[in-house]
Structure 1
């Protein structure tokens, strides 16, 4: 909350120094004489605070009492650029020790803060080093709040520095981005075609669309937007949607800059659908990846089939010892399970039910959509769609791939007669982290099952019920197994409602995927069981859920593995023929309303994003969040037939495919510049030339405002929110790949390949 300081304290005549003239913002130093060695008096102190220079420091004698904001020191005259990142540094001591609040704020009402941090200052000087992003253009001040202590004290500061973290408009990237940012994989001939131009020009710019022969095929004027706080630069938008041309090699020129080449009217998404589905085959555990169905570069031995040096996954026991006690109390198990198969979750060798359930469900939902809206002609029904070993077995490839994961999920269920029978283990992974690179067959670490969880059990019940529905006419025996397992899991989850997955210290060889609220999974399970069985009891259970009538979609991400209620809502809307008419109208209206809100977000965004970052910037896996939002728009199109929703999905992909501040396609193999070093233990060419890069169709996680890994912390300090990404294999916080990220990529690509 912004602190409203009395004006008399900020503009008191009883200050000990006159503020220096306004200092211009820029990449250089903004604090005059921050080392207090040149005799410049840029700092002032409020009434009652005495300031003096002491051996290259500014020392402030502060009387006891009052509130923190009753005793102040500071420097006025700062001019900051909104969206620009700045780095504030200073050395600070207090004798006796006590808190000092350091603020960069507006120089006047309402004293809104750009940065605010309280430091416990001690007699021995410590260093403050803070990066922040300016939020407005008003004159600003650097302020120290010193009051509120029981004793008089002396606070000394030195080495005060304020600099732009990078010049305004500069972004850190592994590619050299053009100032004209486009969808590098191309536009639909009859769809929206927009580009973003980096320019601080106040007036519109002329732009031209030029074909491969250099002929101008369209031209117009840009729309100036001004500073975009997410990109950290001023931008324009060029709209060339009226250019219904077809071909390759187009470029857009504006303001003296030229875009990368791009096609118009070619079948990008049909190819992407194949690559995104085939990506899952390469993620398979427990099967050799062979040249017969994969590029020879991706050939590898089967991982985790119990062959040395692997210690899993054909005979895996439950986690025990001190770690198990700290995480799960007195839970133990005396059985061992064959949990081979399934998909490796991300860049590690772990397998997790909560992500696996949603991922396999999204693949199956793309198949179900193709059946409902493709008239039997969609390639999703083909058994030669992907690059799979099962090609030509008369089973649709999507269902072949889904079955590989469903068979694994079935193995994760606690057997009859054991404690917690019918529940589903949350995950299986190594007991300690392996390094990079590491092929799955070379993993030497022991494997362990982790305690079942309510969330995993409900999620499994939902995915299994869905699978039972789709396999009923293809393999009745398998469908029956899935149906019974789903019913058993559902009953077990009801009997064990509070078995949550906890957080660990992060050093236990796999991701936590902690979840302390299984209500959304319960809603999803009831939904899928109703859609599969038609039993009214499951509908009543879904309607008792707090998620039934609530808003379940957010512009920061419609749903994810930890919040699956949005996916359940889409399933009800798409396949709710059995719903009472009033319920179906309400469910449909909720999806359409959410889609309209997402279009409003997109219309205001100069990059065409279907996404609104949160207070901390872009979220972990932000690209996947955008794709999940696009699945809501796609559902609205299917429900209404209104072309605006289809257009919004088409434009939403622009950002993913290069129309972003980095000028980078986040899908490997697509565009002129694309991510190719995603965090993976075996797609690791960055570390070992003998290993392959990620395969075509791999989605990178994308910008993440929380700098989690060492690479991001070192190289992305002060990044504009949209630029908080680096294509480095060790940046797992911005550049991981994951099954639950590629699943919506496949779903959206499949929708765009088919929808007309």
Structure 2
């Protein structure tokens, strides 16, 4: 998710304020959606009976949301695939739902545990799409498919057909020149920081950075340490909680059969650039991207690679991001590749020292003299949370290595104002990620402190359950507030909190709330669609992605990509509707090139989708009965 820093440009005949953190701010985008087929533009009405379009675990809460004007309960009937009645009941009148503006009822058929295909019919409203009730994992391939998102978006290497869901998406390497990028307006040598070694370039020699090996951040081809860090953390946290989830040979990646779990192969590839963001001295570059926005779609890889591209000025939070990612990656790789782990550890410690030397340098933002146009800003003026999250990872890794620096990092952790913080998180608010790592990896912190963190997590999980129960649709976001950019990422991040809480408390209410949040993503929402590509009868079919759009609609988008979701807070494109309720601020079918405010896809949205899909699969036996 990205916070906006608005600027204006003309888009067709409409003047709009555009966030530089989005991809696709080009006049051509406004007309590109016209290339979508008529079939793609013709939305199929999902109907007023909204269910999880995939299905429900036998022991999960099974609650449909029904859009109906009636002010008294309505009768409902659950039937199986042979038309036999499996259960009956009456709805609960919820009334006006703040998030959507809909008048809704809820039909609770949780007591119906018979397995198989079912439909729900509500008198006076209609019948749902068919869905499954099962004791088996509901979407066993979703985690693996969501992981393929990252190979699809690798840069610096050819993306090959044999590892993709569709061979049509194979392409030559994007930006192989990232192995040597200049510092925009030569800031590396003008930067006043002394850095760890105090060395600069020789007179007349322009410093260049090697940032090869990365994932394209979103629909664009920028690489951003602060956003990469939270995405990599989510995947590595999944590994540290469930190390057997994606073993060697389980994913479609070129590195399979190399003795390293495939999840770690993917994160290691995507994170190569992080160390290279550090110049010879001083802070890490805040981002690397083109000097202008890439065309939409990208039809010519060679032309894209020829666009001018630079490392933009530095920031403290980007430097802490390098430290925490490399420290965590070093920790998990150590038993597989001690040499690489040691190199990452040295880089993490170096980044920490640089950030500590200049603890409050913020990226200056896009401007004629400081930054180029073709990438997002990721503005963040609070660095204390970045320091805490980095200290947590460095402490855990130093303790694992019996490194003498562990005590210093531990002091940075326990002395932070963020110590033990648990709350909603995203790329710009990362302290909870540090605390979740402390609750994941065994460590020497005081047991009373760890107990307090667990209780804080339980309280947050309980509050999320309460929020969900108060909504007409099972979102984990209060309808009393605007839906933020990437609201679906807010949902999956909160699902991670619920899952971690369930691991520690075994409170089934937390696990059931995770399932209900998945219901929201897969159809029980105000739009009546599944926000995950490839899943559901009425599903999202086009997202704001320059590479995938080139083949759309002849070749469908790959399965397992999470759409950004409704956004009523920061609309800056010409097609995401304004003036609508928060949960309905979402662009329609076929509009993706111009719908970056609501239909964007990013690494930090798909990473937690991998986490929650994998988690729900692994805990499926816990909800096989009521």
Structure 1 counterpart of 2:309? 447
Shift in alpha-carbon separation, 1:603–1:725, aligned structure 2, 3 A: same
Shift in alpha-carbon separation, 1:581–1:717, aligned structure 2, 3 A: closer
* d(CA) in 1 for partners of 2:314, 2:145: 34
Structure 1 counterpart of 2:562? 699
* d(CA) in 2 for partners of 1:532, 1:734: 38
* d(CA) in 1 for partners of 2:398, 2:518: 36
- The number of residue pairs the alignment matches comes to 553
1:611-646: CA deviations, max 9, x gaps? Answer: 22564x110000000111111111110111121111
**Which of 57, 63, 74 is the matching residue for 1:188?**
57
- Give 1:469 shift: 0.9
Structure 2 counterpart of 1:234? 103
Matching of residues 619-698 of structure 1 within 5 Å: 619-685=484-550, 692-698=555-561
1:255-295: CA deviations, max 9, x gaps? Answer: 34011111122433321101111111101001212122113
**Which of 582, 585, 589 is the matching residue for 1:721?**
582
**Greater strand share, structure number:** 1
1:290-312: CA deviations, max 9, x gaps? Answer: 1221131221111111xxxxxx3
Q: Is 1:398 matched up with 2:263?
A: yes
Q: Is 1:740 matched up with 2:604?
A: yes
1:393-417: CA deviations, max 9, x gaps? Answer: 2211100101112212122222xxx
Shift in alpha-carbon separation, 1:254–1:279, aligned structure 2, 3 A: farther
SS of match in other structure, 1:683? helix
Structure 2 counterpart of 1:461? 323
Structure 1 counterpart of 2:170? 299
- Whichever of the two has the greater Rg, that structure is 1
Matching of residues 484-523 of structure 1 within 5 Å: 484-504=346-366, 508-523=373-388
SS of match in other structure, 1:514? coil
**Which of 255, 261, 272 is the matching residue for 2:142?**
272
Matching of residues 319-718 of structure 1 within 5 Å: 319-320=184-185, 334-371=206-243, 378-380=244-246, 382-414=247-279, 418-420=280-282, 423-439=283-299, 440-443=301-304, 444-504=306-366, 508-534=373-399, 535-548=406-419, 552-553=422-423, 558-613=424-479, 615=481, 617-685=482-550, 692-706=555-569, 708-712=571-575, 716-718=577-579
**Which of 30, 47, 64 is the matching residue for 1:178?**
47
* d(CA) in 2 for partners of 1:475, 1:285: 23
* d(CA) in 1 for partners of 2:472, 2:285: 44
SS of match in other structure, 2:46? coil
Shift in alpha-carbon separation, 1:722–1:689, aligned structure 2, 3 A: closer
Structure 2 counterpart of 1:158? none
Could you tell me whether the CA contact under 8 Å between 1:433 and 1:510 is conserved in 2?
yes
1:159-192: CA deviations, max 9, x gaps? Answer: xxxxxxxxxxxxx994412100011121112211
Shift in alpha-carbon separation, 1:206–1:744, aligned structure 2, 3 A: same
**Which of 215, 239, 258 is the matching residue for 2:127?**
258
Q: Is 1:219 matched up with 2:88?
A: yes
**Greater helix share, structure number:** 2
- Give 1:722 shift: 0.6
* d(CA) in 2 for partners of 1:173, 1:580: 59
List gaps (5 residues or longer) in structure 2.
Answer: 1-40, 194-199, 400-405
Shift in alpha-carbon separation, 1:254–1:313, aligned structure 2, 3 A: farther
Shift in alpha-carbon separation, 1:745–1:221, aligned structure 2, 3 A: same
Larger RCO (CA within 8 A; separation ≥ 6): 2
Could you tell me whether the CA contact under 8 Å between 1:292 and 1:389 is conserved in 2?
no
1:494-553: CA deviations, max 9, x gaps? Answer: 00112211322597100011111111110001111111112222121112111115x541
* d(CA) in 2 for partners of 1:675, 1:723: 14
Could you tell me whether the CA contact under 8 Å between 1:426 and 1:452 is conserved in 2?
yes
- Give 1:576 shift: 4.2
- Give 1:441 shift: 4.5
Q: Is 1:205 matched up with 2:74?
A: yes
* Divergent runs of 4+, >4 A: 328-333
- Give 1:249 shift: 5.0
Shift in alpha-carbon separation, 1:742–1:441, aligned structure 2, 3 A: farther
Could you tell me whether the CA contact under 8 Å between 1:666 and 1:675 is conserved in 2?
yes
* d(CA) in 1 for partners of 2:329, 2:570: 38
* d(CA) in 2 for partners of 1:672, 1:351: 34
Could you tell me whether the CA contact under 8 Å between 1:500 and 1:516 is conserved in 2?
yes
Instruction: Tell which deviates more after alignment, 530-539 or 252-261.
Output: 252-261
Could you tell me whether the CA contact under 8 Å between 1:608 and 1:655 is conserved in 2?
yes
TM-score, scaled to structure 1: 0.70
* d(CA) in 2 for partners of 1:448, 1:429: 6
* d(CA) in 2 for partners of 1:479, 1:720: 49
* d(CA) in 2 for partners of 1:352, 1:396: 25
Shift in alpha-carbon separation, 1:693–1:352, aligned structure 2, 3 A: farther
